Amino acid sequence: MKVLVTGASGLLGRTTAGLLVARGDDVTVMQRRHAGLDCREVLGDVADHEAVARAVRGQDAVLHLAAKVDVVGPRAAYERANVTGTATVVSTARAAGVGRFVQVSSPSVAHTGRPLVGAGAEPADPEHARGHYSRTKAAAEVLALSADGPDLAVLAVRPHLVWGPGDVQLVARLVTRARSGRLPLLGGGTALIDTTYVDDAAAALVAAVDACGPDAHGEALVVSGGDPRPVAEILDRVCRAAGVPPPRRHVPVPLALAAGAVADRVWAVTGRTDVPPVTRFLAEQLTTAHWFDQRRTRTLLGWAPTVGLEAGFEALAAWYADTSR
């Protein structure tokens, strides 16, 4: 199969594209910097119609991961990457006669601050999702699914808290803060959350490319490891794998939420680009349960995680041990 993967310079995109290459697919990747994969590569911005047209031409399927993933920055930057970029890739794919489109989304598109306990893929909520990233990803998911039809089968897949060796979004930030003593537990760290080891998430996306078609289209699916653990345990295991002190200091939930709201306001007004100590979104994510019913996902995709948390933490510890030599 000829498959275009956008956003292959990120951990999940690179891992997924690598799986497709390894099994013999004819893979094209598109992103703004070299991904270092043994396949055709188109460098460019997903909001650039001409660059996308070069990448999409002749493809059977598109796996769209490219996005602005961050906690700070102006709304316009998220709109361009996540909404305009998705609109460009979708419209160009349709014009090029692509038959399958997998939109990589996020469970945060349906998280409005309340706990998600054994939830399915609830509707994306661009109005009430938290923060620029989640709101624009929600709008992008709605846009992509609206293109589903007889000529283009569309699936939205929401991998939850993807992590693994080399992760710079979640793991590296936790480790950096823990190393400097700036990683507290918010509340008691008792909220149960699902996470997904990167190899399992990548395998799910490959399964989505295969399944997308007449019997699997027009809906969103949440992907996770299906093994929810308390926040405190996850932070402890990540820190121990990296050889840094786990968090010991506790911050009350109301204080964390208030501090996050203040930080959001200060960073927005001043235009700061560094990562704040806490945001309202992060405080909510670390203090409310969010774990998911995986039955629909696993049935439709014919997929289940094969690595899981324990083997994942072992791989993470081995990676840190190797990189510290």
Looking up tokens 């289209």, which residue turns up?
Answer: 217
Q: Which two tokens stand for residue 57?
A: 């031409």
* Angstrom distances, CA of residue 31 to CA of 67, 149, 169: 10, 27, 17
Q: Quote the CA–CA distance of 13 and 113 in Å, as a whole number.
A: 28
- C-alpha 242/C-alpha 172 separation (Å) is 9
Q: Is the dihedral of CA 212, 123, 89, 304 positive or negative?
A: negative
85, 89, 91, 93 alpha-carbon torsion, rounded to 10°:
180
Tokens of 127: 């109005």
Q: How far apart are CA 250 and CA 183, in angstroms?
A: 9
Print burial letters for 44-63: b (CB count within 10 Å at least 16), e (below 16). bbbbbbebbbebbbebebbb
Catalytically annotated residue among 78, 133, 197, 320: 133
Q: Give dist(CA 105, CA 88) in Å, integer.
A: 16
**C-alpha–C-alpha distance, residues 71 and 273, integer Å:** 9
Give Cα 63 distance to the centre of its chain. Answer: 13
Whether 133 sits among the annotated catalytic residues: the reply is yes
- What value does the CA radius of gyration of the chain take, rounded to a whole number of Å? 19
Map residue 65 onto helix, strand or coil.
coil
Question: Would you name the residues annotated as active-site residues?
Answer: 133
